[in-house]
Structure formats: C-alpha cells, structure tokens
A and B are shown apart, each in its own frame.
Chain A
C-alpha cells in the first residue's frame, strides 16, 4: 500500500498462534486444570475403591445414629443415647465457648502487657518483657500439658483444696465456686442490665454530639458504667437482696453444690489466653509505637494527663495498626483451641476424632471439621473487617 511505502514499515508476517499470549494463556490454563482434575479424580477413585474394600460406609447417614459415648462437659443437654449430630453440636459449642472466652481474656491480658512493656516503670516494663519472651517461645501444646499437669496432678486433692477466695476452691477436680440460687428477681435484673446498656449507649451518643456542637465534654464513660452497674443494683436492692449462694461443700471425695470448671477446660483456657496474650502484647506495643511521638507531645502540650493522652489520642490511632494483625491472632486462637483433643477437653476436633474411631468414616469427619473451621474463620474475618472499617482512617 502507498502509506506503507511512505512510512517505510515493512509488513511482517502474522506471528504463529503459539506466540499469542492470549492463546498461550488458555492452553496453559487448560493444561493446569487438566492436571489438577486428573489428580483429584485419581485420589477420589482410590478412596472409593479403598472404602469399598474395607467395607466402610460413606455419606452423612451416621449423623442420625446413636453416638453411645459420654461427653464430660456440655453447654446443652446431652446423653450417650443422643445422635452423633447432637454430639457434634456439643463439640462445636464447646469450641466456640472456649474460643470466645479466650479471645476476650487474651485481648485484655495482651493489651495490659503491651502497654506495660512501654511503661516508664522499669520493673513493670521488664516483667512484661519476661512474660512475652517466655510464653511466645514455648509451643502452645507444651504449655497446655504443663497447665493440665499443674491442675490435674500437682493440685491438691479436694480435701486439701486451696482456697484463694472464700468459697472458690482449687483442687485436682478443677475450680469450684459458689453460684447464686435462681430467683425470679434475677430476670428483672437482666432486663435492667439490658436497659442500662441501652441507656449507656444513648448517653455516649448524646455526649459525642454535644461535644461536637459545643466542645463541652461530658463524663459519659462514668455515667455509662454507673447506668450499667446501677440499674441491676437498684432492682436487686428493691427486690430485697434476693441473694442466696449455693456454696460448694466437700461430700465424700468430691464437691457438691456450686458450679465447677474442669481442669481440662481451665488448662485450655489458661494456656490459650497466656500464649495468645503474648502475641497480642507485641501487636499492641507495635501499634502504639507506630503512633508518632509528636502526637503524645501535642497531647501533653494541650494539657491532657498521661491516661487521657493514651485513651483519647494514642489508642484510637494505634487501633488502625492493631486491628488487622489482631484478626489473624483471633483466627489462630480459634484454630489452636483444637489442641483441646490432646488434653481431653471435648471440643469439636476431639468429638470428631471419637466419631471417626467409632464409625471409621474419616472422610466425612474431617470434612465436617474443616467446613466448621472455615465457616468460623470467615465469620471472624467478616466481623473484624467491619470493625476495621469503623476504626480505619477516614481519608478525604
């Protein structure tokens, strides 16, 4: 063509199709998928053949059968005559219970220790450092065994139980503590507590709006705490102090009355809290250090006291750095709660393990554990991402 001759561009031959990146991409993907699918098909085929040969049933039919094994601790009613499905539910609730408690306690412990590591007090700083360096460098499983041995074997027998607080007894049967005997007034106290919480939220919202409008601060924290504690207390006093405690008593070789926490549960909770707390402490410390020094200096220059400076200036900014790694710490605590199987606390994995041993249906058992943990992980990630969005820096 004339234009080609003018610009001097020599028309090249079309490149062969295997040089076309799009075609190559498609070919590579088909190859890759083919290999993955072939591998899967091979494994599934082998599994089916093996299952048939060993006469193992497949499918989730076993869930409706009678479990026929006892579970030491359960949040819901359970007996060996119940189904496997209910046993799984017991395990799931135990896992969620210990994980939720562990997350709360580890956050509190870790935050305190993280702040303590930055304290101006040398002794407190060093103690916090020793705590962090000791517990994060020892495997969690070993720590769980240690606490379990302390509580189950080294702890005194019920007769010589150790009594740190009146009525709270520590022995090799676990922690036993008094509980109030149920009274109709307690329901009203719960209602009052709910009202108190709603009131506290309302007061804090109003105080925030007023501060934004007029600049006057209102002690909404104290008033809120007063509402939350005071409302149930008022009901309690108005109902004529309906508090009768069910004290634990030594009868024979064990305690009767009160409520008890098993050594296994206590060991798991203590271990998870202390281990995860040491990681949380480092996250909190890094988060606080990430807030620039000028911020605290500016706060001091404005006349804020150290506590106010931490609460109003440093922590809100540190949270932005702290929340994402904290999410993965919570996830790993939840996954680590599966180590319960090693010390005999009936969590999900431990119950699935018993089920697999009884029925031989390993594939289904492991699939169920995996599905549950994936669901929990996704849920925690979702909530923490929502929270992260709430504390994240609002950019213009």
Chain B
C-alpha cells in the first residue's frame, strides 16, 4: 500500500451556505414554520388572532368611554369603563356604609398581607398561627365595629370582596381541623368510626356545593330548636366549612397514606400512644407533604364562594350583579364581569403560581 502523501491538498467538498441558526429569523423558522403542518397551524392561529384582537382592542380601548355621569354617556358602542369608575367601589364593598369604606378596605389589605405572609416558608409554624389569629380578630373588630368609636355594621351589609375573602379563608381555616379528624377517622381501625367518616366524606363529595348551601339556608333553621336563629352569613360559612372539610380530608388522607409504615412502628416502639404518635410523628410529615394540593384546594374554595349569591348573599360577584340593577347604568354586564373576573383571576393566578413553585421545591429531594 502506497503511503498517502499527507501534504497533498485534498479538494474540499463544496459547502452549501449554512442555514441561519441564530437571530429572530432562525427562531421563527424553528418555532413557527419548521414543518408544513406547523406552518398551516401558525397561519391559522395568526388569522384567528387578526380576527379577534382588533375588534376587542377597539371595544376595550379605542371606542371606550372612561368618564361619564350615567349610562347615557356610553352609547358609542365601546366599553363603558365609566361604569366601573362609578360603580367599582360598590362592586368592591357593596352596601357597606359609604363613609366607613376604609374598614372593608383595611380588611382586604389585612387578608392580602396575611396570604402573602403565609407564602413565606420561614414563617411557617406557631408564629404564622398567631399572626392569623390576631389578623382575624382585627378583621372581626373592623367589620363589626361597635367598639373604639366605630359604628356597628350588621353582617348583611358585609358585601363585595371582603365577604369573598372571609368566606374563603375561614372556610379553609375552620375546615382544616375537622378535615384532619375526618382523615384520621377514615384510617381508623375502629369500624364504627371509619364507617361514619367514610359516609360523611363520600356523601358530601357526591353532591354539589349548591345543595349544601341550600341545606344551610333552608334546612338549618328547621334543625334548630324553636326560637333559635342563626345569622345568614354564618349559615353560609358553616355550609362552606362542612363542604370543604370533606375535600380537605381526602387530601390529608393522601398525605397520611404516604407515610411509611416504619414511622408508625418506630413511634409505637418508643411507647407513644395513638394521639401522641399522630401529633408528633405522623401529622407533621403528612401535612408538609400535602401543602401544594391544599393550596390548590384553597383556590377552588375561593372560586366556589361565588355560589353564595344563589342563597342571597352579596359577595364580589353578587355585588357586581347588584351594581347592574342601577336604572342609570343598565346593560353593562360585560364591563362588570370583566372587572370582577380580573380581581378573581389575580388572586387565583397568584396562588396557583405559588402552589406550582412549592410543588417544584418539594419534589427537589426526589429528583435526581
């Protein structure tokens, strides 16, 4: 075999120009037009956007009316944001006495602050519980009044966003201990206890929230001894607590089931009894594991509180509906619902992002 002369120049293959691999054009090609079906999809989506966005922008911004004395100012065909400017405060606070609006406003601020504080994992524990206790007492004092020179405001005037926040938060806070008991009961080896807990959980989870609310508003007065009445708001709150407890119980049960058997056996061998074993060993681990689904459940509960308008309470959505009945401002449904939806959406979106973040953080230990 003859030696190859390495110094000999080999003819280089003629290279075609390389495709662009960087820059906006390459990005477009890789992400929008990388195959024929994808190109068709992109063009269809662009056509759809072109059909939807301009009319929506024209309605919401270009033709919109921002100021006006009454609905007559809004006959241009655009959005009537003047309605929100005029009625926004009513939608947020409802029929709460106008001069006292700072009180529900403070309530909203306290709730938002407490929710934000709860997101900080360094605060989890006893300090957070104390914070919530103090916060809820402050909210009660602010909303009811009757002390510190504040006028007394009855609960039927608690409307709008504060009501939504109160129902959703108390619904979860008070349902939680009940849910833990139900979940423990469902895992109990005592058949009577287990049977009743399973029966309760499955019954409540099998029916819509509306029926539980109807039950609270129509049947609860029948259940009570003659002459005893319960406030309408409290009845709705009770229904929400009892309803949420069944769903939370299933989440807690998921956490309980994920605890390895060895933990129970270790606790037993240390001589701990049932309650001490549950309180010191099982629950701390089980509850930490189910925090992300608990946040998701809270989001569901927050959205579900809007159902109380069916039994005649005025939460955020109810106040929006009430604002629509003003004879001077009739027919601005879309504006009112868009405004309300934006408020609900900001709360729920923030919380769902937070729960996704928690899920990622919690699964870090299991990722490799």
Contacts and interface: CB of A to CB of B under 8 A. Distances in A.
Interface in B162-217: 189-193, 196, 203, 205-211, 214-215
A32 B219 contact: no
A145 B190 contact: no
Contacts of B42: 121, 123-124
A385 B335 CA distance: 44
B132 interface: no
Nearest to A373: B207
A322 B307 CA distance: 29
A181 interface: no
Contact of B211 (A51, A136, A349): A349
Interface stretch (A65-73, A79-87, A219-227, A363-371): A363-371
Chain A CB within 10 Å, residue with most, of B189, B304, B306, B349: B306
Given A139-B317, A370-B207, A378-B206, A149 B45 contact: no
Contact of A342 (B209, B309, B338): B309
Interface residues of B, number: 53
A339 B223 contact: no
B31 A120 contact: yes
A370 B215 CA distance: 10
B222 A121 contact: no
A139 B193 contact: no
Given A137-B348, A141-B317, A142-B341, A366 B214 contact: yes
Interface in A33-84: 33, 36, 43, 46-47, 49-51, 53
Contacts of A393: none
Contacts of A154: 333-334
Given A29-B193, A141-B309, A369 B207 contact: yes
Contact of A50 (B222, B306, B341): B222
A142 B344 contact: yes
Interface string B38-80: 1001100110000000000000000000000000000000000
Nearest to B164: A139
Give chain B's interface secondary structure class.
helix
B226 interface: yes
A387 B226 CA distance: 51
How many of chain A's residues touch chain B, expressed as a range?
A: 35 or more
Nearest to A336: B208
Contacts of A373: 206-208, 211
A153 interface: yes
The A contact surface, by secondary structure, is: helix
B88 to A, nearest CB: 16
A97 interface: no
A291 to B, nearest CB: 18
A141 to B, nearest CB: 5
A138 B300 CA distance: 10
A362 B219 contact: yes
A366 B226 contact: no
The listed residue with most B CB atoms (<10 A of its CB), out of A25, A137, A373, is A137
B207 A47 contact: no
B196 A36 contact: yes
Contacts of B224: 46, 50
Contacts of A339: 210, 307, 310
A384 to B, nearest CB: 14
B219 A141 contact: no
Contacts of A320: none
A32 B192 contact: yes
A356 B307 CA distance: 19
Nearest to A148: B333
A366 B306 CA distance: 20
A349 B208 CA distance: 10
A374 interface: yes
A142 B205 CA distance: 22
A341 B344 contact: no
Given A36-B196, A339-B307, A342-B309, A120 B317 contact: no
B273 to A, nearest CB: 10
A140 interface: yes
**Chain A to chain B: the 10 pairs with minimum beta-carbon distance, closest first:** A149-B333, A137-B348, A122-B31, A335-B208, A139-B303, A29-B192, A362-B218, A338-B208, A139-B306, A377-B206
10 contacts: A32-B193, A121-B38, A137-B352, A139-B317, A142-B341, A149-B334, A338-B210, A341-B310, A349-B210, A370-B211
Interface of A: 25, 28-29, 32-33, 36, 43, 46-47, 49-51, 53, 119-124, 127, 133-134, 136-143, 145-146, 149-150, 153-154, 335-336, 338-339, 341-342, 349, 353, 356, 362-363, 366, 369-370, 373-374, 377-378
Interface of B: 31-32, 34, 38, 41-42, 45-46, 189-193, 196, 203, 205-211, 214-215, 218-219, 221-226, 299, 303-304, 306-307, 309-310, 317, 321, 331, 333-334, 337-338, 340-341, 344-345, 348-349, 352
Given A46-B225, A366-B219, A369-B207, 17 more contacts: A43-B223, A46-B223, A46-B224, A50-B221, A120-B31, A120-B34, A121-B31, A124-B41, A138-B345, A139-B344, A142-B341, A142-B344, A336-B208, A356-B214, A362-B218, A362-B219, A366-B211
